[in-house]
């Protein structure tokens, strides 16, 4: 299994043993809630396989998808470290295999493994930079431009497989209405930028789509 950018990459073999002894692996079906906004976390979750949406719901019932997590990603550590309540929710969008690490065990690992602390700090930095980027994009760019950006991100997420999301999830990621996404997608299809097969979307002309993310 590829662990190039995972927490497991930075764990010493000694701590790895510790980890093995405390983790609990679980399989979740698609559309299962893992974390719920406003609650405490009981520990952290490390994704082995499958994709999970991280989102925030606003008062009016709309949800904004912040990012998608996939294998190697760690969920819940920020909230756990700060001892806050969760600011976001997480729900599987496919069947997922996930390891759960109890709060106390994780904190212990953090104390003992400086590389882990290092890695978490880098993760936080990275995420923060991404959020700043996302914010300015949301503020300045048109729905079409944002949709193009989203498709490129999702292409990465799906690693060559066609993008497979409900239009609603796509809309909640882009930050727009479902109908707008549908209209723009069919526009882009007729321009030969993408291919659509039911729910599945395949990027055809990556270069032009990339260009579209630079303007408007």
Residue 31, burial from CB neighbour count under 10 angstroms (0-12, 13-18, 19+)? exposed
Counting other chains too, the contacts that 58-67 makes at CB distance below 8 Å and 24 or more residues apart are 62/172, 63/89, 63/172, 64/172, 64/175, 65/169, 65/172, 65/173, 66/131, 66/134, 67/127, 67/130
Among the listed residues 36, 137, 180, 202, the single contact to DNA using CB under 7 A: 180
Q: Does 121 sit near a second copy (CB under 8 A)? A: yes
162 binds a second copy (CB under 8 A): no
Pick between residue 17 and residue 199 the one whose CB is nearest to DNA.
Answer: 199
Q: In DSSP terms, which residues pair with 166 in a beta bridge?
A: none
183 binds, among DNA, a second copy, none (CB under 5 to 8 A by kind): DNA
Assess 136 for contact with DNA (CB under 7 A): no
Beta bridge pairs of residue 28: 96
CA distance 89 to 93: 13
The correct pick among 8, 103, 105, 175 for binding a second copy (CB under 8 A) is 175
For the chain, give percent helix, strand, coil, nearest 5.
Answer: 45, 25, 30
* 195 near DNA, judged by CB under 7 A: no
142 in contact with DNA (CB under 7 A): yes
Angle of CA points 210, 66, 69, to nearest 5°: 85
Stretch that binds a second copy, among 4-12, 14-22, 45-53, 116-124 (CB under 8 A): 116-124
Selected from 36, 49, 64, 205, the binder of a second copy by CB under 8 A is 64
Which residues would be at the binding site for DNA (CB under 7 A)? 142-144, 166-168, 176-180, 182-183, 185-186, 196, 198-199
Which residues would be at the binding site for a second copy (CB under 8 A)? 56, 58-60, 62, 64, 66, 78, 81-82, 84, 87-88, 117, 120-122, 124-129, 131-141, 175, 214-216
């Amino acid at each position: 299994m590829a662990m190039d950018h995972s927490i497991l990459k930075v764990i010493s073999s000694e701590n790895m043993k510790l980890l093995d002894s405390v983790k609990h692996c679980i399989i979740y079906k698609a559309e299962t809630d893992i974390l719920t906004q406003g609650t405490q976390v009981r520990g952290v979750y490390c994704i082995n396989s499958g994709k999970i949406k991280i989102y925030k719901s606003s008062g009016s019932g709309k949800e904004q998808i912040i990012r998608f997590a996939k294998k190697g990603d760690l969920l819940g550590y920020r909230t756990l470290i700060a001892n806050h309540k969760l600011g976001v929710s997480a729900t599987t969008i496919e069947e997922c295999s996930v390891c759960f690490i109890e709060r106390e065990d994780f904190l212990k690992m953090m104390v003992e493994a400086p590389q882990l602390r290092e890695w978490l700090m880098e993760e936080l930095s990275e995420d923060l930079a991404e959020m700043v980027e996302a914010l300015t994009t949301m503020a300045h760019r048109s729905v079409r431009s944002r949709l193009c950006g989203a498709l490129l991100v999702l292409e990465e997420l799906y690693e060559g497989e066609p993008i497979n999301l409900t239009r609603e999830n796509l809309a909640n990621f882009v930050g727009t209405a479902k109908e707008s996404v549908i209209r723009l997608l069919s526009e882009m299809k007729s321009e030969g930028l993408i291919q659509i097969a039911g729910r599945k979307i395949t990027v055809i002309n990556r270069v032009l789509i990339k260009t579209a993310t630079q303007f408007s």
